[in-house]
Structure formats: C-alpha cells, structure tokens
Chain A
Amino acid sequence: MNQDYPTVAQRSSSALATNKVLRNTYMLLSLTLLFSGFTAALSMFLNMPPMTYLISVIGGMVIAMFVLPRFAHSTAGIGIVFLITGLLGFGLGPVLSMYAALPNGGNIITLSLGGTGVIFMGLSAYALATRKDFSFLGGFLMVGFLLVLLAAVANIFLAIPAMSLMISAVVIMIMSGFILYDTSRIIHGGETNYVLATIGLYMTIFNIFISLLQILGIMGNDD
C-alpha cells in the first residue's frame, strides 16, 4: 500500500519542475520581447539600412544554432538569448520603418502585432488547458518547414507575389504548430531547459509577426 507514496511524490515533484520551467520560460520570453521592442525602436531611430535585417537574421540564427546550445545550461545562456533576440529586434527596425512609410502602415503594424499576440496566447492557452501531447507533430512540422525554406529559395529567383503570400500563410500555420509542439514538450517534461524553450517560442513569434506583416502589407496595399 505504501508503495504508491514514492510514485505520488515523484509525480508531484515532476509537476513542480514542469511549472518552474513554464514560469521561467514565459518570464524570460516576456523580457526578451520587451528587449526586442527596444532594439527595434533603436534601429528605427538610427534609420538603419534594409540590409540590417538580413545581417541580423543570419547572425541571430548562427548564434542560436551553434553558440547557444553550448551555453544553454549556464547563466551565460540567458545573456546569449538576449543577444539573439536583441539582434533580431534590431533587424526588424528597417522592416518596420518600411511598413510605417506605407499609407496604412501604422494599421498594418498594429494588426500584425495584435494578431501575433492573439495567436500565441490562444495556442499556448489551448495547449496548457487541454494538456494534449503534440509530440506526433515533430516530423511533420520539420519537413513542412524545410519545404517552406525550399519554396522561399525558389521564390527569391522567381519573385512571384502570390507565392510569397502563400509561403507567409504556410509559415504562420507551421509556426502555430511549433507553438503547440514546444508548449506540449514543456508540459510533458520533454524540454527542461527554459533557455532553449524560450528561444524556440521566440522564433515562432518572430516568424508569425514577419509573415503577418508580409500578408497584411500585400493585401492592404491598393497599388
């Protein structure tokens, strides 16, 4: 009869650990989003050229892929997360300046920001409330993401606006899947490092925001 007690204690301690990872992830995510907003505003104020976006995204991705995993389990990892998110935010500056210059640019930026917030909070609440295991999405999402990257390479040379619109729409769907997948991994103990969890969720938010800007920019432009 007493044999059940260690199991209950183990489950309770595992649930506490999961809650701690979730809390730390959302706390760090909020701070990095605020920091990104600050660096984006700074970049707009400095009137950075369009190539800043490309350099920042490549730099941010390279640091996220090759540097962050080495420091993710130390306090230096938090600094690197701020470096990556600050860099990506800084790259957003020229993009936001470009949209702000459109006749309804303010509306496009506000709606993209609001839409991104609604999508992220809605999907996170759904994953947290249902506690469903979305680990089955892993392969599907990764292959889908690779196919989108291939289509994006093709569209650099083809430059078809409709294809660009389609790519942005698919990116939003895939990133939405990644929000469910990543949140479910934290809930079920698949991700115990809040630094890596934060950067994963940040990337999904960043991609959804950029894709929404592109869709609303194309659809809201009368020319």
Chain B
Amino acid sequence: MDWMQIISALALVMFIVILFPAALDRMRNSPKGTSSDWMGFIVPIIIIVLLVMLLIKLV
C-alpha cells in the first residue's frame, strides 16, 4: 500500500469526522417530506440514471 492511499484514507476519515455532527443535526432537524415530495426527487434521479446509461452506450 503506497503513501497516497494512506493519505487518501486519512483525509476521507477526517471529512467523515468533521461532517458527522452536521449530518446528525440535519437528520434531526430536517422537515419530513410527503410521498409527493419524494416523487419530485425520485423522478429526476431516474432520468439522470437513464442519462448516465446513455452516456455509457455512447462512449
């Protein structure tokens, strides 16, 4: 294992430790979405998945 991998792993762990309190706070304080709200998120994500699949076909 080379030193670049070790530094990458350490940097990622550092980001996780720093972001964890913010993630916990947002989990507790975010408003709850209705099923219609979630559909408004899921539909564009499905379109993006299809776009990425199209890009893979094109490459």
Contact between chains at A126 and B52 (CB < 8 Å): no
Total A-B Cβ pairs within 8 A: 115
Chain B residues with Cβ under 8 A from A107's Cβ?
Answer: 58-59
Contact between chains at A111 and B9 (CB < 8 Å): no
Residue of A nearest to B22 (CB): A142
CA distance A42 to B24 in the complex (A): 40
Q: A136-B37, A156-B5, A216-B59 are in contact. Are A149 and B12 (CB under 8 A)?
A: yes
Which of B9, B23, B28, B55 is in CB contact (< 8 Å) with A153?
Answer: B9
A positions within 8 Å CB-CB of B: 50-51, 54, 57-58, 61, 65, 104, 107-108, 111-112, 115, 118-119, 122-123, 126, 130, 132-140, 142-143, 145-146, 149-150, 152-153, 156-157, 169, 172-173, 176-177, 180, 212, 215-216, 219-220
17 contacts between A and B (CB under 8 A): A50-B4, A58-B7, A58-B11, A111-B59, A126-B44, A130-B40, A132-B37, A135-B30, A138-B29, A146-B20, A149-B19, A153-B13, A169-B52, A172-B52, A176-B45, A180-B41, A216-B59
